[in-house]
Amino acid sequence: MHLFDVAIVGGGPAGSSCAASCAVAGLRTLVLDREKFPREKVCGDCLNPSCWPVFERLELTERVRDLPHSKLSSVEFIAIDGRKVIVDFPSGAGCEISVKRSLLDDLLLNRAGELGADVHEQTTATGLSENGHWKIETASGEFFQARILIGADGRNSTVARLCNLFPASERERVALQAHVPRPRDFGERVVLQFLPEGYSGQAPVNETQLNLCLVGTPPTISTLRRWAERQFDVPANQPWRTITPLTRPPIPSAHENLFFIGDAARVVEPFTGEGIYYALRSGELAANVIAKILRGYDRNSALRDFGRAYAQMYRGRLWINRLSRAAVLRPHLGSLLIQAARISPAILKLLTAKVVSPGR
């Protein structure tokens, strides 16, 4: 049985960026994903400008730009009473865009394969054991072995569950998402709309389709869906994708021969649209530390560097995400903030500029 240096469970942005970087570093890299790509995923489809430097390092910038997408010029915040505040996004090459996850994730996973990672789709990790190296069992009965294991399998990480590291979390909120016909005059804006039962995010993803996300609680989500059906002429038989939880405690990223990246490590509030960036960047950082460890660098100092870079990725950003979570958990409070921003827009502009500033 072939022994991989690294086995990555999950081929989303975190797993693919990690796999691509591991392969470039010369590591024998395996990626397992339970889905057949291209596949959609519950997401607002917005790419924070911080993603561009990661695409650059993966030599994917042009190919991302070639995907059908929308350039986003502004964000419109709408309060419960319908009052609005519009904040412009930076323009130019490093601007915020929206692109369907089916397209983006397929491109990223293919890139990992091109660079030498061994990618297995429709392969669900179901069991784990460690005895000097990891043995990963899959639903089909096939198994794989690797020296280092990465959980890149999203917010409900099976790897974390199998390792007894999954934190207790409530099904406090639930999200629904669909691609619906783009209203004719929608323009190139993202809409973040507070509603009495939660909030909605809307973003055009191409000439004809709008990404529509709804976030509510289990008892209120069907009211939100009926609101969306009326507002956007969505047929009652429209298929919606769903996901929960929206919030859960983080899992430490680095363990003995085991790492968690992307949503598997930390779930952030979707309102600020940054999860894909954290997934891509944490994947790169994990690949970096693993390459150092496997090449025999001092393990503790490699892990210390990783810890610093990982913390740096969130520095100056997480508090805004927490602030937005506080606002969306109490939509009436969020609406009051929008009304305040109509009188004095500087603070909202500053917070938005911090979220959509170009990355490293």
Ligand X SMILES: Cc1cc2nc3c(=O)[nH]c(=O)nc-3n(C[C@H](O)[C@H](O)[C@H](O)COP(=O)(O)OP(=O)(O)OC[C@H]3O[C@@H](n4cnc5c(N)ncnc54)[C@H](O)[C@@H]3O)c2cc1C
Question: Cβ(32)–Cβ(7) under 8 Å?
Answer: yes
At residue 228, the 3 state secondary structure works out as helix
Query: Can residue 175 be called a binding residue for ligand X (CB under 6 A)?
Result: yes
Query: Can residue 274 be called a binding residue for ligand X (CB under 6 A)?
Result: yes
List the one residue from 14, 78, 192, 328 that touches ligand X (CB under 6 A): 14
Query: Can residue 276 be called a binding residue for ligand X (CB under 6 A)?
Result: yes
List the one residue from 5, 197, 263, 284 that touches ligand X (CB under 6 A): 263
> Interface with ligand X by CB under 6 A: which range of 81-89, 150-158, 180-188, 330-338?
150-158
Return the number of the residue (35 or 295) whose C-beta is nearest ligand X. 35
Beta bridge partners of 128: 136
Least distance in angstroms from the C-beta of 183 to ligand X:
19
With a CB cutoff of 8 Å and minimum separation 6, the contacts of 347 are: 341
List the one residue from 27, 104, 125, 351 that touches ligand X (CB under 6 A): 125
The single-letter DSSP state of residue 168 is P
Least distance in angstroms from the C-beta of 61 to ligand X:
17
Q: List Cα–Cα distances, 291 to 57, 119, 150, in angstroms.
A: 17, 19, 13
Q: How far apart are CA 217 and CA 212, in angstroms?
A: 17
Q: How many CB atoms lie under 10 A from the CB of residue 250?
A: 13
Return the number of the residue (140 or 301) whose C-beta is nearest ligand X. 140
Question: Cβ(188)–Cβ(88) under 8 Å?
Answer: no
Least distance in angstroms from the C-beta of 301 to ligand X:
27
Q: Each residue of 187-219: b (16+ CB within 10 Å) or e?
A: ebbbbbbbbebbbbbbbbbbeebbbbbbbbbee
Return the number of the residue (61 or 336) whose C-beta is nearest ligand X. 61
Return the number of the residue (120 or 133) whose C-beta is nearest ligand X. 120
With a CB cutoff of 8 Å and minimum separation 6, the contacts of 131 are: none
Least distance in angstroms from the C-beta of 336 to ligand X:
23
Question: Cβ(238)–Cβ(229) under 8 Å?
Answer: yes
Query: Can residue 160 be called a binding residue for ligand X (CB under 6 A)?
Result: no
Least distance in angstroms from the C-beta of 216 to ligand X:
11
Least distance in angstroms from the C-beta of 91 to ligand X:
19
Site size for ligand X (CB under 6 A): 39
Strands 84-88 and 174-181: unpaired
* Residue 300: exposure state from Cβ atoms within 10 A (0-12, 13-18, ≥19): exposed
Query: Can residue 6 be called a binding residue for ligand X (CB under 6 A)?
Result: no
Phi, psi (rounded to 5 degrees) for 317: -115, -40
List the one residue from 9, 119, 149, 302 that touches ligand X (CB under 6 A): 9
List the one residue from 73, 110, 124, 145 that touches ligand X (CB under 6 A): 124
Return the number of the residue (39 or 133) whose C-beta is nearest ligand X. 39
Least distance in angstroms from the C-beta of 251 to ligand X:
12
Q: How far apart are CA 102 and CA 112, in angstroms?
A: 16
**Which parts of 289-328 interact with ligand X (CB under 6 A)?**
none
Q: How far apart are CA 178 and CA 314, in angstroms?
A: 29
List the x/- string, 234-253, binding to ligand X by CB under 6 A. ---------x----------
List the one residue from 22, 75, 150, 152 that touches ligand X (CB under 6 A): 152
**Which parts of 15-74 interact with ligand X (CB under 6 A)?**
15, 32-35, 41-46, 48
Q: Which residues in this chain contact ligand X in the complex, by CB under 6 A?
A: 9-15, 32-35, 41-46, 48, 124-125, 152-154, 158, 175, 177, 213, 215, 243, 262-264, 270, 273-277, 279
